[in-house]
Amino acid sequence: MQATPLKQVTIQLYTRQQCSLCNHARYFINRIKRKYPDEAIKVEEVFIDENPALTQLYNDVIPVVMVNHQEACREKPHERLIREAVEKEMHSSPQKSIEQMQLEMQQNQLKVEEMQEMEHLLRKTIFRGLRATIIFVSAMLLFFKVMKKKNEDTKTSKLKQQPIGTEKKE
């Protein structure tokens, strides 16, 4: 099995002056960096106080360590998290990423097809339910119409059977 060539990784440390936790993060980054060739890891320090948007975004959570623009850790630096993020980026192969994207696209297409099938079944079920409800309501209306007619016929026949002048007054 051929080893995957190392990619260059950029670590960004979002920091500010007089930040002791940032010093810990810097120490961890340097320990990790020593394990790789010099050109393998590029470290950038970004001072958030120089940019109001970054100050607003990261003011309460520095240090923030990003590896290839993906957050590895914030607030409390963890060497293990930074190292794992670096190793993941170092050894990831672009071809593998393309294969993963193709697989994800296939899986997403299957999900779309499943959702379309579920939507179709739901519409069918709703339609059947509505149709059954309409039939039921129509039958009930017909029943009440028949009962009303029967009730009116009964009253009419009772009136015809009574002699004139003996009708009940309501």
Residue 1 pLDDT > 50, yes or no? no
Query: Same domain, yes or no, for 82 and 66?
Result: yes
Label residue 96 by pLDDT band (50, 70, 90).
Answer: low
pTM of the model: 0.53
Residue 141 CA to residue 147 CA, distance in Å, equals 10
Query: Same domain, yes or no, for 33 and 77?
Result: yes
Q: What is the pLDDT of residue 127?
A: 85
pLDDT in tens, 14-61: 999 999 999 999 999 999 999 988 888 999 999 999 999 999 999 999
Q: How many domains does the chain have?
A: 2
Is 86 a member of any domain?
yes
Query: Same domain, yes or no, for 20 and 83?
Result: yes
CA distances from 42 to 7, 34, 36, 59, 90 (A): 11, 12, 11, 24, 12
Query: Same domain, yes or no, for 62 and 115?
Result: no
Residue 32 CB neighbour total at 10 angstroms: 20
Is 76 a member of any domain?
yes
The whole domain housing 99 covers 95-164
